[in-house]
């Protein structure tokens, strides 16, 4: 495992996935927690980076704010469908929830018949969780694929024990590239940490930009560097030079 190098707060920009990177994966996504000293450390790093720290997540920004309070930070939520470009900026929404109403209707019978599945409605994306029902993985994937059949404006994306539907043309890599085009990120070298399949889009963009792409965990990745797990991420953040 090739460990990432130190980074420079004057020349780098830091992008962090949330679940599986900053916090452990849990059965109930609402039960995650980050210790107060870890949030204080993120605040310190944000200041040292002059605001060029962003959390890039499949979660809604409102949920990230709740888990990371009182931290002020830039963020891309729902894989970039929500964006806050500066720590104190406004949230931009790239689509409206009504576009997913037909998908909600299509998956409802499956949810009724398989109550161990859980649908997380993010408004601009729908996530079907099967972590506590791994035997229903194929059923979850099948119903989501069928729900978007014939719609070019929506895509199905699989992640860690989830299958998600969201608008086409958006992923964490595109969100990161957009952030890198404007202050406070423009002109800096991107550093990205992420553990899931959905993070590979961003890790590829960072690699193309000759930044520092860091995979968390042992899954196959385009990233050059590795950290073992969430605990290792926090250790590295403490010694990375920021």
Kindly report, residue by residue over 11-36, the tens digit of the pLDDT. 999 999 999 999 999 888 888 999 99
| DSSP state letter for 148 | T
Q: With contact defined as beta carbons under 8 Å apart, do 186 and 207 qualify?
A: no
More confident residue, 29 or 180: 180
The rounded mean pLDDT for the chain is 94
Domain boundaries, the chain: 12-94+170-239, 97-167
Q: What is the pLDDT of residue 99?
A: 84
Q: How confident is the model at residue 97 (pLDDT cuts 50, 70, 90)?
A: confident
Does the domain at residues 97-167 carry the CATH identifier 3.30.2010.10? Answer: no
> Is residue 169 predicted with pLDDT exceeding 80?
no
State yes or no: is 101 an active-site residue: no
Question: What percent of the chain shows pLDDT beyond 90?
Answer: 79
Q: What is the pLDDT of residue 235?
A: 97
Q: Which of 218, 241, 220 is nearest to 229 (CA)?
A: 218
Q: What is the pLDDT of residue 32?
A: 92
Q: With contact defined as beta carbons under 8 Å apart, do 163 and 154 qualify?
A: no
| DSSP state letter for 136 | G
Q: With contact defined as beta carbons under 8 Å apart, do 26 and 67 qualify?
A: no
Q: What is the pLDDT of residue 170?
A: 81
Q: How confident is the model at residue 166 (pLDDT cuts 50, 70, 90)?
A: confident
Name the active-site residue from 17, 65, 171, 199: 17
Q: 12-94+170-239: which CATH architecture?
A: 3-Layer(aba) Sandwich (3.40)
CA torsion 65-70-74-77 (nearest 10°) is -10
pTM of the model: 0.82
User: What is the mean predicted confidence (pLDDT) over 138-167?
Assistant: 90
Kindly report, residue by residue over 199-218, the tens digit of the pLDDT. 999 999 999 999 999 999 99
Q: How confident is the model at residue 93 (pLDDT cuts 50, 70, 90)?
A: confident
Strand, helix or coil at 238? helix
Q: Which of 150, 151, 138, 152 is nearest to 110 (CA)?
A: 138
């Amino acid at each position: 495992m090739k460990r990432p190098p130190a980074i420079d707060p004057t020349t780098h920009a830091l992008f962090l996935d949330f679940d599986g990177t900053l916090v452990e994966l849990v059965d109930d996504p609402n039960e995650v927690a980050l210790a107060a000293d870890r949030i204080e450390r993120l605040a310190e790093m944000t200041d040292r980076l002059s605001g060029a720290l962003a959390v890039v997540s499949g979660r809604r920004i409102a949920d990230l704010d709740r888990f990371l309070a009182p931290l002020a930070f830039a963020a891309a939520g729902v894989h970039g469908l929500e964006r806050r470009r500066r720590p104190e900026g406004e949230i931009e929404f790239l689509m409206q929830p009504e576009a997913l109403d037909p998908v909600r209707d299509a998956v409802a019978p499956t949810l009724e018949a398989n109550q161990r599945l859980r649908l997380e409605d993010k408004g601009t994306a729908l996530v079907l969780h099967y972590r506590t029902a791994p035997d229903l993985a194929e059923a979850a994937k099948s119903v989501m694929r069928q729900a978007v059949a014939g719609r070019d404006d929506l895509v199905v994306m699989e992640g860690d024990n989830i299958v998600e539907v969201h608008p086409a043309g958006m992923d964490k890599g595109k969100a990161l590239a957009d952030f890198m085009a404007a202050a406070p990120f423009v002109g800096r070298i991107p550093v990205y940490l992420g553990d899931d399949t959905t993070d590979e889009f961003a890790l590829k963009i960072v690699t193309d930009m000759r930044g520092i792409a860091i995979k968390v965990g042992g899954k196959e990745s385009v990233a050059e560097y590795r950290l073992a797990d969430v605990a290792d991420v926090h250790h590295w953040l403490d010694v990375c030079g920021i």
